[in-house]
Amino acid sequence: MQNLPNCPKCQSQYVYEDGSLFVCPECGYEWSKDEEAKDDEFVVRDANGNILQNGDSVTIIKDLKIKGSSSAIKVGTKIKNIRLVEGSDGHNIECKIPGVGAVKIAQKFVKKS
């Protein structure tokens, strides 16, 4: 039996090959054999698939409720100078929003401005 790599997203050991791809049945992540050879670099993409970088400006695409508060972040709110962090919970963007304060946001709720 082959020694297949663990999943780079969830570290599952139950990875299998599907043609030229590795597939993780637990989280559904797929990656090519060529990507396996490269270093696993941290990449954050917005809801449209654009790559985000530290210092970018983004716009909220969905009303977001704030835990522990009755307020919300409204659609169209522009956020400047984001900071990217690796988070196991999927909230990879740290930022300060005027009137709200410091928050962590999942990249699926923003688009690059």
- pTM summary value: 0.62
Instruction: Please name the residues in contact with 42: beta carbons below 8 A apart, sequence gap of 6 or more.
Output: 84, 86
CB 38 within 8 A of CB 50: no
| Domains, the chain, ordered by start | 1-40 (2.20.25.10), 44-112 (2.30.30.40)
pLDDT tens, position by position, 54-113: 999 999 999 999 888 888 999 999 999 999 998 778 899 999 998 889 999 999 999 998
At 42 the pLDDT is 78
At 40 the pLDDT is 53
At 54 the pLDDT is 92
Rounded-to-integer distance, Cα 108 and Cα 51, Å = 12
Nearest Cα to 8, choosing from 32, 26, 29?
A: 29
At 61 the pLDDT is 96
Average pLDDT over residues 23-46: 77
Letter for the amino acid at 95? Answer: C
Measure CA 69 to chain center: 24
Whether 48 shows a pLDDT value over 50: the answer reads: yes
At 107 the pLDDT is 92
